[in-house]
Amino acid sequence: MKAYFINAEKREVTEIDIPDAYPHANEKIGCQWIACGHMDENGDSFYVDDEGLLTSPQHFFLLEDSAQPAFAGNSVVLGLDNETGESQDVVASLDEIKERIKWADKNTIGLMAQLGALD
């Protein structure tokens, strides 16, 4: 199904084809455990490394209008059928996702934390 891969190290978002969230998102992100967050009402969700902050991350992204302001490492964006909970094609366009992402490094995230911007 149509999905997007957020590569925090390369600072790019690309379209990918993925059979399902688990275990394929884990493999693409490069982690054992994933956490899921909802992006908006259309059902799009993003998956991140649930232990991303425990691995001395160097690359981050901020997602506009998200309950959590910053994420460590890579992510996969997939659609989610709100009635069945099954993964589906992502609804948002690639450009819409790119517009919502801001890139950050470890120093920027540290400064944001000191200023209380991540609370």
Q: Is the backbone peptide bond immediately before 23 cis, with ω within 30 degrees of 0?
A: yes
Contacts (Cβ under 8 Å, ≥6 apart) of 61: 6, 8, 70, 71, 75, 101, 102, 103, 104
pLDDT (tens digit per residue) in 35-77 = 988 887 788 999 999 988 888 788 999 988 877 778 999 999 9
pTM across the whole model: 0.91
The model's pLDDT over 89-101, given as tens digits with 9 standing for 90+, comes to 999 999 999 999 9
Q: Which pair of tokens denotes residue 46?
A: 């993003």
Residues constituting the chain: 119
User: Residue 90: how many CB atoms within 10 A of its CB?
Assistant: 27
